[in-house]
Structure 1
Amino acid sequence: MAFFSTRASTRAGSGASVRPLTGTRRSFAALPAVVLLGTAALTACSDPGAAANGEQPETTAARNGVAYNTSPDQQRVRAQKDAALAAKVPELIGRDGKLTVATTAGSIPLSFHATDDKTPIGSELDIAQLVADKLGLELDIQVTSWENWPLKTQSGDFEAVFSNVGVNKDRVKLFDFASYRAAYMGFEAKKSASYDIKGADDISGLRVSVGSGTNQEKILLAWNKELEGKGKPPAVLQYYSSDADTILALSSGRTDLNIAPYPSTVYRENTRDDLKVVGKVNAGWPSETLVAATTLKGNGLAPVITEALNSAIKDGSYAEVLERWGLSGEALPESKTITEATFGSR
């Protein structure tokens, strides 16, 4: 899942680690599912000097009509404090006046570095900002690697995770969720490719780059098991140490496919001339899942975030955020709190 978000996973060095997609993976506690490719950024605030110096926001005009602002001067969509919601924030979380949010920076347009190479920006952080505003809290962004957020959320270092995290049966044992976006994965390939990826048969024998311990990998493992049952060659899994290395391998022909959060594959299709989307799958395949804000199980924060998100949906600020990042097609009509008790009843 989003699906989905960052990792500094078991991929070694700047090259690729390659192995057939067979066998089982390590436990959720060690390395959970969603991937956002990327490296760590250190600061949480945009550069206040950019606009003051007369600089215009840097934008990337995409073929889908979206002008992506990738500068540190984000001029984010903001929301008004809701006093009733602010009063519901658990005391242990609200007493410092901050909402400490983890993200994994690196996957445009979800969570990535601005053009100053240090400011984390993207749709995930814009949505987190709306929630913090509604709750009357200062947004405190902490960039971390994908495999670190579960333990640091359990330890209390992070109060919420906004990083394309998809809800799954393993995660609900440890965390509660407030849904805010549809969750899809995209397959991308060179523009000259003729692939049409819809299921297991379509990846047989191909080299596919994927994040370790991710929902994407779970899908491919299941598809390879299906292929092996048919006596067909499985796909070959390839790991790279960064998003840049992954895309370079794809564009240079060292891999045949990359599977990544769908919004990121759409962004590249619309801003590059050499890549295209060749398939789309729900991040919870064979079931469906959603992207959600992630909080420690039972601490009472997830229901409050759900209410804040629904307030943002109602006042239009949520739709405005998704529109500015080209994600309107993944909007939800309503946020819902998802716990272990309610997971199977969605």
Structure 2
Amino acid sequence: MAFFTDLNRRGGRARTLAALPAVVLLGTAALSACSDPGAAASGAASEGRSTTAARNGVVYNTSPDQQRIRGEKDAALAAKVPDVVGKDGKLTVATTAGSIPLSSHATDDKTPIGVELDLAQLVADKLGLELDVQVTSWENWPLKTQSGDFEAVFSNVGINAERVKLFDFATYRAAYMGFEAKKSANYDIKGADDISGLKVSVGSGTNQEKILLAWNKELEGKGKVPATLQYYSSDADTILALSSGRTDLNIAPYPSTVYRENTRDDLKVVGKVNAGWPAETVVAATTLRGNGLAPAVTDALNSAIKDGSYAKVLERWGLSEEALAESKTVTEETFAASQAGAAK
């Protein structure tokens, strides 16, 4: 797991720390953003409501009783599951459960829910496996996937050049990051110049942190004041800092920022950037490199796309605009070619 350590170490030298302690943001999706998960409040789940009617017309079910959209076992697909994965009859999936509508805890504070789990359920169903969900922190999934504790990760993981050295991927959603601010703000974030001198909260070790560090380097090269990156120990603290004015911006997976814009009265989305900036990336199920599981997951996702269950899951969580027309397997060998048509 050297590259994750190195990324964090480099980030530690480059970033400007706020007065608050710099800590790893636990249980967060980039995912993305992408696109690794970033700071995101749990919203309705933390407030105890079982449903939330949002301004975008989506009624979010945050109760433990999810009544997920299910798929049927496809014998041909099940036969493609590697023996090392299928021998126990389970698909062990990791998620960080920190960000509605990606993955979060239900109103019982223990049941993982969200679009990531719904898609993982479809894949498990198609492959004839029982879904075994394991909640973990963002910084732990890489090592535990390498060790075999997790067979797949569904947690808004974006594909990048470092990750393909250790993992294979089955793509399933577009990967964007959103900038959010107080509703009274007049920011329009499109690039580095727009964050100069601002205080921005971000998750440590994420794609969005990489974007901000690159933008700060660009600002310094122009002789402009870089942004101050701030790190918080919980999702609630991150959003509280934003809503109270202690930070100017938060960057997080775009679906989470849209959710808050549509369910809160004090925040709005003020910018959107691909999680793979300056290139493009997509969100993908993440598996151990070379173990043969990623192609089976890809085929299961394409089966779900074909029969319409995939579209129903995205619609359920208000993410239809992030649908992919086709799932593809991405490995280190195919990564460069995959960049040309990503996230469209």
Q: TM-score range by the shorter chain?
A: 0.7 to 0.9
2:275 to 272, 276, 283: 283
Q: How does 1:265-276 map to 2 (within 5 A)?
A: 265-276=257-268
2:54 to 46, 51, 62: 62
**Which residue among 186, 201, 204 is the counterpart of 1:194?**
186
Per-residue displacement from partner, 1:319-339 (whole Å, max 9, x unpaired)?
A: 000000000000000000000
Partner of 2:20: 16
Residue by residue over 1:22-53, the C-alpha shift from the partner in whole angstroms, topping out at 9 and shown as x without a partner, is xxxxxxxxxx97234479xxxxxxxxxxxxxx
Residue 81 (structure 1) shift: 0.5
Please name the residue that 1:336 is paired with: 328
| 1:154-205 deviation digits (Å, cap 9, x = unpaired) | 0100000000000000000000000000000000000000000000000000
Tell me the equivalent position of 1:54. Answer: none
**Structure 1 segment 135-150 matched on structure 2, within 5 A:** 135-150=127-142
Are 1:94 and 2:86 counterparts? yes
> Which one-letter code corresponds to 1:35 in the other structure?
P
Does structure 2 conserve the Cα–Cα contact (< 8 Å) formed by 1:37 and 1:105?
no
Give the aligned partner of residue 4 of structure 2: none
Q: 1:240-259, CA deviations, whole angstroms, 9 ceiling, x for partnerless residues?
A: 01110000000000000000
Find the counterpart in structure 2 of residue 169 from structure 1. 161
Query: Distance between the aligned counterparts of 1:16 and 1:65, measured in 2?
Result: 37
Equivalent residue for 2:285, pick from 289, 293, 317: 293
Alignment length (residue pairs): 307
Q: Which structure 2 residue ranges, 5 or more long, are not aligned? A: 1-11, 13-18, 24-33, 42-48, 339-344
Which of these residues, 206, 224, 229, is aligned with residue 232 of structure 1? 224
**Can you list the C-alpha shifts for 1:297-335, whole angstroms capped at 9, x where unaligned?**
000000000000000000000000000000000000000
Deviation at 1:220, TM superposition (A): 0.6
1:111 Cα offset (Å): 0.4
Q: Contact 1:61/1:67 (CA < 8 Å) preserved in 2? A: yes
Relative to its length, the structure with more helix (as a share) is 2
Note the 1:120-135 alignment, pairs <5 A.
Answer: 120-135=112-127
Is the 2:35–2:282 contact (alpha carbons within 8 Å) kept by the matching residues of 1?
Answer: no
Q: Match for residue 42 of structure 1?
A: none
Distance in 1 separating the partners of 2:40 and 2:166: 25
Amino acid at match of 2:88: D
- Aligned counterparts of 1:260 and 1:102: Cα–Cα separation in 2: 20
Name the counterpart of 1:184. 176
CA contact (8 A) 1:165 1:292 kept: yes
Structure 1 residues 195 and 18: alpha-carbon distance in aligned structure 2, compared to 1, 3 A threshold: farther
Query: Which residue is equivalent to 1:35?
Result: 37
Q: Is the 8 A contact 2:301 2:310 kept in 1?
A: yes
Q: Report what 1:302 is aligned to.
A: 294
What is the TM-score when the length of structure 1 is the normalising length?
A: 0.86
Q: Is the 8 A contact 2:177 2:252 kept in 1?
A: yes
How far the C-alpha of 1:16 sits from its partner, in A, is 3.1
Q: Give the equivalent residue in structure 2 for 1:85.
A: 77
Is the Cα contact below 8 Å between 2:103 and 2:112 reproduced in 1? yes
What aligned pairs does 1:147-166 form with structure 2 within 5 A after superposition?
147-166=139-158
- Give a deviation string over 1:61-93, Cα, whole Å, max 9, x none: 000000000000000000010000001100111
Partner SS, residue 237 of structure 1? strand
Percent of pairs identical after alignment?
84
CA contact (8 A) 1:59 1:71 kept: yes
- Structure 1, gaps ≥5 residues long: 1-9, 20-31, 40-56
